[in-house]
Structure 1
């Protein structure tokens, strides 16, 4: 393994349409990289046996006047970020069937591409305000600092891919953006940009934001308009802002004075025990 390989391991970024992709934020992050950089398709996984076509329907397209059926499929890209850096990306609808076989096939392709590190992207609706930075949860190798606070419950294909990749000795990272649930299902460029920024931090890269910053301002303005139309929604968002600001203050306190933060936690626990 070369020194350059040690410094810049081959990375595969994976995002899947559907349950794991609120407002298409995760898959739009991959699409943004494909559109902004020199990208070429290098591998595919056939749709056969993986999809329920009443859920992931084929699309009718017309190229040069001729109709053509486009079937759901997985596409792998090689993306050249700079003359010295490249990454790989996988994008697909979430399969309906045979997840373990699908992940084995995905990891076989990752192995063929000499990938060391797999990064899955996801987005979910959450109770957070659109007026604050988009929260992006990061976990490495499916581990969290405090297991008692880690997520338990239903999972999607990114988590299954992470788990199987870890078992095959790939390094894994999972990035999940939280999107305000009251903003609807339209594309959320703010979450896409947040994922790209956090992904860049993980990989030691700075990605070109393109039009995402301007689109984010438009998205925020539309979200703010919703508050002008509903006093109840405005009060709800104000409550979310207070909670977000309090949590941020607690994190800053913990970073600046861990002993004081530990004491505050102990006092809170003692208070709750006496209720």
Structure 2
């Protein structure tokens, strides 16, 4: 039987990780489940705090569909240069207290998900990772004026650090990140994750408030200490920007008010043990939100056009 080609190269000698126990690996795969770029921005924040060495590299040619997601490159006058090759790597980082942890980051594989999961298993077992923690975000009918809600999930119920607002079964599109959590559980490795709920009218913009909320959960789950100060400043600036644009657009403001009423009714229903779907608080339709927020989003993208 032919042997499967090696899809991940793992650095042989990483003394900083030899005695690290427990060891957390954070996973953020770009391309899906990342409304508001919340997870990608959170991962970038971790790297910005102190970029560490790459300890494992995946053979991205085996996973990436270049025609579906064409990497950018530069054409300078009369020649090509600066090709932004996609990279799927594991970095060794340290938290504020000096505790080492790993970050698996890069484009979500377009194919060979099962082979990718087996490759991640190699990394987990080689370095003795004790917990894998993933981040993601989805657009939801929620207002930005309320706390960021986060869905908790895990392949072992003992790992959960928060209650779920969902009941019953939801059929959802799968992802390599979700499959990885499932397979790791079957192989006896702990994995959990967090999905932030992003106001769907902000889903196409960077939303650092949600990035900070995700990292707060990663801190708890991974027993890490992360300096969020710069990210929180960025989040505050974004919130002020949104507030200014809402003040200049009454129609958009009314949509947000409707979402606030629905959110508050939902919270009251939860507190009283009633049905999670609040009655008599109709949500704005997707068409209505899309129409009313088109101008709003254009204003956020071009702040110089703000009304004086």
Q: Distance in 2 between matches of 1:40 and 1:8?
A: 19
- How far does residue 187 in structure 1 lie from its aligned partner after superposition? 1.2
Residue 235 of structure 1 corresponds to 254
What CA deviation, in whole Å up to 9, does each residue of 1:12-63 have, x standing for no partner?
110011122122211221221111135221111021121111222233369x
Q: Distance in 2 between matches of 1:202 and 1:246?
A: 30
RMSD between aligned alpha carbons? 2.8
Which of 216, 222, 240 lines up with 1:203 in the alignment? 222
Residue 154 of structure 2 corresponds to 140
Residue 57 of structure 2 corresponds to 44
Q: How many pairs are equivalent?
A: 251
Change in 2 beyond 3 A, CA 1:204/1:159: same
Name the one with the larger strand percent.
1
Pairing 1:181–2:206 present = no
TM (norm. structure 1) is: 0.81
Residue 169 of structure 1 corresponds to 188
- How far does residue 170 in structure 1 lie from its aligned partner after superposition? 0.8
Q: Distance in 2 between matches of 1:11 and 1:108?
A: 15
Residue 109 of structure 2 corresponds to 95
Residue ranges of structure 2 left out of the alignment (5+ in a row):
1-17, 158-162, 279-308
- What SS does the aligned partner of 1:59 have? coil
What CA deviation, in whole Å up to 9, does each residue of 1:116-173 have, x standing for no partner?
2111110111111111111111112176868744532212121111111111111111
Which of 110, 125, 145 lines up with 1:131 in the alignment? 145
- What SS does the aligned partner of 1:52 have? coil
- What SS does the aligned partner of 2:22 have? coil
Q: Distance in 2 between matches of 1:185 and 1:16?
A: 17
Residue 36 of structure 2 corresponds to 23
TM (norm. structure 2) is: 0.73
Which of 40, 48, 71 lines up with 2:85 in the alignment? 71
The answer to whether the 8 A contact 2:96-2:226 is kept is no
Which of 95, 100, 123 lines up with 1:86 in the alignment? 100
Q: Distance in 2 between matches of 1:139 and 1:68?
A: 39
- What SS does the aligned partner of 1:48 have? helix
- What SS does the aligned partner of 2:125 have? helix
